[in-house]
Amino acid sequence: MLPETRNTLILNVMSHMQQTGETLTRACAEVGIGYSNYFLTVRANPVLQQMHDEAISIAQDILADQLVNIDKLVPDPKMAAVISKNIHWLLSRRQPQKYGDKITVQHETSRDKAIIARLQAAKRRAVPALDHGPVEDAVELSAPSERRTLELLGLG
């Protein structure tokens, strides 16, 4: 297959996904290019890779829009419920940060880590300065008696 023909087919796949919201495998089948040929060509070209990422995002947005209008697309309520649950499941797996049920909060405390590192470094510097070794000429001090304490305080 000529490169121009393959690129045309790849652009047709992307266009088909953006118009219908269908999956990549379905769009490849509709256009008539193999899934592996599509990916080999897209991965080799950064511009096509960026276009592919945008096409996937748009296709997923179209699927999400179908959830809003499911009652107009499928008249049977039971079938509409099944289809909407399937679409919701697919979107939540493919883009959990956008369509997922759970909210994940990531908290990075780089300032705290820097402060703790500085405090530990200061502690390492201070500990050797405080450690003078054993003291041999220490004098034992005793506390004054209760009567002497009252005298010193002017109460006795």
Tokens 């500085």 found at: 118
In which band, very low, low, confident or very high, does the pLDDT at 50 lie, cut at 50, 70 and 90?
very high
For residue 106, the one-letter residue type is: Q
Considering the chain, what is the average pLDDT of its residues?
81
Q: Would the pLDDT of 76 be above 70?
A: yes
| Cα(23)–Cα(11) distance, integer angstroms | 15
32 φ/ψ sector (left φ>0, alpha ψ -120 to 50, else beta): left
- pLDDT tens profile 108-150: 667 777 788 888 888 888 766 555 566 566 566 667 677 777 7
Quick one: pLDDT at residue 54?
A: 92
Is 99 in contact with 91 (CB distance < 8 Å)?
Answer: yes
Quick one: pLDDT at residue 124?
A: 82
In which band, very low, low, confident or very high, does the pLDDT at 29 lie, cut at 50, 70 and 90?
very high
Tokens of 42: 């897209």
Domains by residue range for the chain, with CATH: 3-99 (1.10.10.60)
Who wins on pLDDT, 117 or 50?
50
Q: How far is CA 79 from CA 20, 67, 86, in A?
A: 20, 13, 11
What single-letter DSSP state applies at residue 33?
-
Quick one: average pLDDT of 3-9?
78
Quick one: pLDDT at residue 122?
A: 84
Quick one: pLDDT at residue 131?
A: 58
Q: Would the pLDDT of 30 be above 70?
A: yes
